[in-house]
Amino acid sequence: MAGVALVIPAAALAETEANADAQRDYLPGNIIVTGELDGYVNEDGSTATKTPTPIIDVPQSVTVITADQLEDQGVTSLNDALRFVPGVSLETGEGHRDEVFIRGQETTADFYLDGLRDDAQYYRPLYNVERVEVLKGANALIFGRGAGGGAINRVARVAEFDMPEYALGAQVDTFGAFALTGDANLPASETLALRISGTYEEFDNHRDVYDGRFVGISPTLTAQLGPDTRLYAFYTYDDDERVVDRGLPALGDGPLTGYDETFFGDSDYNFSDVEVHIARTRLEHDFSEAFSANASLLVADYDKFYSNIVPAGIVNGGTDVRLAGYESGTDRKNVIGQVNLVGQFDTGGLGHTLLLGAEVTSSDTDSVRNQARFNNGADTSVVVDLDETIVVPAFTLSPQRASTSELSTFSLYAQEQLDIGILQLVAGLRFDRFDITSTDFVANFDGERVDENVSPRFGAILKPRANLSVYASYATSFLPSVGDQFTVLSQQDEALEPEEYENLELGVKYAPHRDLLLTGAIFRLTRSNTPSVDPVTNLTTLVGESEVEGFELGLVGKPVEGLSLSLGYAYLDGEITDSADRDDIGTVLQQVPEHQITAWARYDLTDRLGFGAGLIHQSDQFASNSNNVVLPSYTRVDAAIFFEATDRLTLQANVENLFDEDYYPSAHGDNNIQPGAPLNASFGARLNF
């Protein structure tokens, strides 16, 4: 499922200026999309270029999960949706945040909302989302810092001027978890529309100690301020409380077995509480048929606290387990402003799509962390009996970190998409200034670092037919030494240059008809300037380098009437290629399965009855770069049935892990391994009126 496409009628593009004009006229008029085709097909590739571009003309691998596919799979969180994306593997996120590997690059921050950065650490819901886009490969021109392996963008629902629409949903599973959702689109006039989406969820699963609840509400507004001017306004409030489950430790070179339900923590202490406020506006104006502009402003407040006891390893020949723990609080306030000028015009038979843009951000982060200490404060860990119920002895807390940071960035970028008929060229540059100051109150250190980077992007798309693209691309990105959460700048980090990413990719996108897309891509992603400690001198140098090579295949859409498919395969080969410690060279990168297969299908037997099936396969992968612990290969099979009881009421049942496979899909290091859920089912109902 490596993308979906817009296909123009099948006449060849070559040497026909009228055809090129028709293509541009067909595209959406703005970056925020107000609707989708039915099924698993998406047309819009504008997130990858910040211009109205069909996804078949984007020189980059893109996987899109549409609202219909999300509904068919019965998923309510971003984490679960990403399991069906080839080239993406999940980190446990320590049981309190989204964290993924994209083409072997780990990130907690490369998440976006309608193209604007949403980088705090929390679990992102889907109740107000139209679709999820996974853009693969480094691309700082569009996203700025980070996004070394790619970026994940959620496209939000918007208020529309069509007739009023209302939807109610309910879902409950065999563990006892349930979700209630509501969505109302309310056109107030020909120029004003309102929409409100909301959800209430309660959590449960197969683990001995797990519960929580989530409340989310998201009102939106669309206003037509004039024939050429549109305003969008969004507000989201998310409130998440849940048990922090850090999984189970390893035994030998694999996960500890026989304890998949055992909670290796303290049921009275392991807890996470997150409140998220995000307000956004977007103003669009068409100066003419050729030139338009858009300006966006995001103001976000993330308030998070979590505490946890964690498993730190099996000891004493397998009879005992070592525990450690800590608590952490973070308060982050982000302000992001972005403006883009887009021109679409012809000169001398050449088609141009020109982008000029600027972005400024400000982010203030306060953070504290306290460490659990056992044995009257003498030790930072404790050994207890390994049993089905883990008994955690009394502990106290001592300050480990207290910091404040102020980040400001300034970016300018330009991109040209040149259409010369059978060949399209994409070229652009982005300048980023990254300025951070921080204070570490525990270490009593004030740090400051300024980085300035120029990131290029080049692409060439050969189009022998309108429904066939063969492309080559080159793009880079960078990650400042402070990391992707920029909480505090240490004295060592202050002296280090940013890491660098370079992505080379060759690919093909072919759409036999409008509702079907086949994709393939081969790539090499190189990460360099990575800090590496010399074992002799104990000095940190920047000679570290790693490389991920691979290829992806995808098929999305309707090959025949009634059948919707989303199929993907990824092959990844990632290893450390250079290091100050020569023994590290050749180390396989953590949580990068060599083979990954994702599949989901729905077949409608009649107008009212349909069936679904899914498959996820991952080969062996190492839990960490130590290469000491292996997460075994697994294959999970899912199933579903859909029944349209009336024109307004739809019922469905989803079965996860149909064959009750024992599997361990993710980890956070060698001793925080998350066991997959056994056979379970969920039952849902949707009422539309």
Residue whose tokens read 């139209």: 130
Residue 36's pLDDT is: 42
Residue 14's pLDDT is: 33
Sign of CA dihedral 68, 71, 75, 77: positive
Burial class (CB in 10 A: 0-12, 13-18, 19+), 5: buried
Residue 541's pLDDT is: 87
E strand intervals along 91-128:
100-102, 105-107, 111-113, 116-117
Contact between 276 and 238 under an 8 Å Cβ cutoff? The reply is yes
Confirm or reject CATH 2.60.40.1180 for domain 17-688, answering yes or no: no
Residue 225's pLDDT is: 97
- The helix (H) or strand (E) run that includes residue 80 is helix 78-81
**What backbone phi and psi angles, to 5 degrees, belong to 78?**
-60, -40
Residue 105's pLDDT is: 96
392's CB contacts (< 8 A; 6+ apart) are 265, 266, 269, 309, 323, 384
E strand intervals along 57-207:
62-66, 88-90, 100-102, 105-107, 111-113, 116-117, 129-136, 150-156, 165-173, 178-187, 192-203
Residue 625 gets which letter from DSSP?
A: T
Tokens, residue 340: 């883009």
Q: Which residue stretches of the chain have pLDDT < 70?
A: 1-38
- The helix (H) or strand (E) run that includes residue 25 is helix 17-26
Tokens, residue 54: 């069909």
Distance CA 342, CA 50 (A): 8
Residue 284's pLDDT is: 98
pLDDT (tens digit per residue) in 385-434 = 999 999 999 999 999 999 999 999 999 999 999 999 999 999 999 999 99
pLDDT (tens digit per residue) in 125-181 = 999 999 999 999 998 999 999 999 999 999 999 999 988 999 999 999 999 999 999
Distance CA 82, CA 110 (A): 14
Which residue in 290, 105, 129 sits closest to 195, CA to CA? 129
Tokens, residue 190: 């020909």
Spans of all domains in the chain:
17-688
| Beta-sheet pairing, 111-113 with 150-156 | parallel
